[in-house]
Structure 1
Amino acid sequence: MRLLDTSSYTLTEFAGEDIPPYAILSHTWGEGEVLFHDIQNGTAQSKQGFGKLVGCCQKAFEDGFKWVWIDTCCIDKTSSAELSEAINSMYQWHKDSIICYAYLEDVTDVLRTPGAGSNHFTESRWFTRGWTLQELIAPRTVEFYTSNWLEIGTKRSFIVQIEIITGIPARILHGEEVSTCNVAQRMSWASERQTTRREDMAYCLMGLFQINMPLLYGEGDEAFVRLQEQILKQEEDYSIFAWTLQENRPQDLTGCLASSPYQTKHVADVDATRPVKRILRQPDVPGYEKQEL
């Protein structure tokens, strides 16, 4: 794991028990983010995203942290092996962080007071992105900040609003293990979120299901099918089959597995323990040719 020094803005690698306490940044990517090679080459200050990096480091330093993890610059994305390892580890890295700073670039200081501010807070783009789902759930503590790094509130203080807009039960936001929710429920939390690359709608969910699998950019929706196949290998939870076709898209019916989380939008309350008296054939899932539900 590579961490950024909050004073010198230099990177250091750590492993295992040598990993020090660290803060972590959750944000949505914008233009001119500071990347790994910018830190290494000394060009970080010329990037548009440098101000966000400095703000995060200053906040972490004020809170007593020497180290912070920021996805834009702490991963060398030119290395496919490193990128794959990082994405497979990301949920755990967020869970192990002492605090997560959620930076809402589209929430302004003038709207940060309770009332008007809380409404604008819930409309932030941050709540619509695939990767920020695990960044909301995994860390024990999440603090929300405006574009000028003024604190809006915490995951706990906004728990009612967050439950309403995300569909994530308050008990999960309070720290209960996500495994207490069935597969359909967990899938539904991502049903209205988006990622820039189609494959990332699967990859951003791996941590919610404790799945580790290789990244194959270019496979499109097949990534989400692969994710479900891996889930079936480790969980006997048939709520995974409770999905619906999108309107006017019958071409999405390619088997018994959904092609995207959007198809789980209306199945959050399905009961995975309720018996279904029929035989379900699963031709697309190796090892599951016939299964009685």
Structure 2
Amino acid sequence: MWLINVHTLELEYFMGQNTPPYAILSHTWEDEEVTYQDMRQLTPDTGTRNKQGFAKIRETCRLAASDGLRYAWVDTCCIDKSSSAELTEAINSMYRWYEDAAVCYAYLSDFDDSADETALAASRWFTRGWTLQELIAPENVTFWSRNWVKLGDKWDLNDCLHTITNIPARLLRGTSIVSDYSIACRMSWAARRETTRVEDTAYCLLGLFNINMSLLYGEGSNAFYRL
């Protein structure tokens, strides 16, 4: 997997047991996201640092460094999406990568830290398909407002998260595991979530069902039937 060195902002590649501890970002995609190609060509003279999405990378690296970590993973720029083989491997590995992370920073770009906790439910983060596994898989998830003010962690916000997502509080606390719950139950957690691409409604659930599957973008809703 590709990881960002939080001190140099360079991408470095690791495999298997050689992978160092890392932080991971959970967020919703927006305009001007930074790509893998952008990061490989990153210099003080390129326009990458002016992209809106670069701020998320910079803040993720800052938080990781403050947590004593040298590396961070951000999906926008740590996957070479021009390679179908790398994209397939990444999506099939995604749940494990979040599960293995030392900490996951959930960035709610549309949530004001001055708002009441009950207003969390309105955040777009809770409506997206990919963020479901990003909430469940990591043991340590901390939530951050649009201004990067810490809102709490998965334990502090347990009751609120359960109310918003209908995911059992025991699972969010880590006192039960995903396989304790039926397929129908797991599927219900994703029922109201959306993805930009139709195929991703299936692909974003691979980890929750412990399935590996080839990716066929263009197959439309057939991806869900294959799942």
User: Shorter-chain TM-score: what band?
Assistant: over 0.9
What whole-Å deviation, never above 9, does each CA across 1:233-281 have from its counterpart, x for those lacking one? xxxxxxxxxxxxxxxxxxxxxxxxxxxxxxxxxxxxxxxxxxxxxxxxx
Cα displacement (A) at 1:110: 2.4
Cross-structure match for 2:54? 50
Cross-structure match for 2:141? 142
What whole-Å deviation, never above 9, does each CA across 1:206-250 have from its counterpart, x for those lacking one? 0001000100011111100100xxxxxxxxxxxxxxxxxxxxxxx
Task: Please point out which of 85, 92, 95 is paired with 1:88.
Answer: 92
Listed as ranges, the gaps of 5+ residues in structure 1 are: 228-293
SS in structure 2 at match of 1:220: coil
Cα displacement (A) at 1:122: 2.3
Q: Which amino acid aligns with 1:96?
A: D
What is the CA–CA distance in structure 2 between the aligned matches of 1:63 and 1:108, rounded to whole Å? 23
Cross-structure match for 2:168? 169
Q: Which amino acid aligns with 1:11?
A: L
What is the CA–CA distance in structure 1 between the aligned matches of 2:210 and 2:114, rounded to whole Å? 40
Q: Which amino acid aligns with 2:108?
A: L
Write the mapping of 1:219-258 to structure 2, written as runs, cut at 5 A: 219-227=219-227
SS in structure 1 at match of 2:77: helix
Higher relative contact order (CA 8 A, sep 6+): 2
What is the CA–CA distance in structure 1 between the aligned matches of 2:155 and 2:113, rounded to whole Å? 20
Q: Which amino acid aligns with 1:133?
A: L
Aligned length: 222
Q: Which moved more, 1:66-75 or 1:36-45?
A: 36-45
Matched, 1:183 2:187: no
What whole-Å deviation, never above 9, does each CA across 1:125-156 have from its counterpart, x for those lacking one? 00000000000000001000011111001111
Matched, 1:61 2:65: yes
Pairwise CA RMSD? 0.8
Cross-structure match for 2:130? 131
Q: Which amino acid aligns with 1:158?
A: L
What whole-Å deviation, never above 9, does each CA across 1:165-192 have from its counterpart, x for those lacking one? 1111011111221010000000000000
Cross-structure match for 1:104? 108
SS in structure 2 at match of 1:197: coil
What whole-Å deviation, never above 9, does each CA across 1:90-115 have from its counterpart, x for those lacking one? 0000000011000000011322xxxx
What is the CA–CA distance in structure 1 between the aligned matches of 2:50 and 2:82, rounded to whole Å? 20
What is the CA–CA distance in structure 1 between the aligned matches of 2:218 and 2:173, rounded to whole Å? 37
Cα displacement (A) at 1:63: 0.9
Listed as ranges, the gaps of 5+ residues in structure 2 are: none
Q: Which amino acid aligns with 1:119?
A: T
Matched, 1:30 2:30: yes
SS in structure 1 at match of 2:114: helix
TM-score using structure 1 length:
0.75
Superposed structure 1 runs of 4+ greater than 3 Å apart: none
SS in structure 1 at match of 2:193: coil
Q: Which moved more, 1:13-22 or 1:118-127?
A: 118-127
Larger radius of gyration, structure 1 or 2?
Answer: 1
What is the CA–CA distance in structure 2 between the aligned matches of 1:120 and 1:104, rounded to whole Å? 12
Cross-structure match for 1:210? 210
What is the CA–CA distance in structure 2 between the aligned matches of 1:121 and 1:6, rounded to whole Å? 29
What is the CA–CA distance in structure 1 between the aligned matches of 2:215 and 2:95, rounded to whole Å? 15
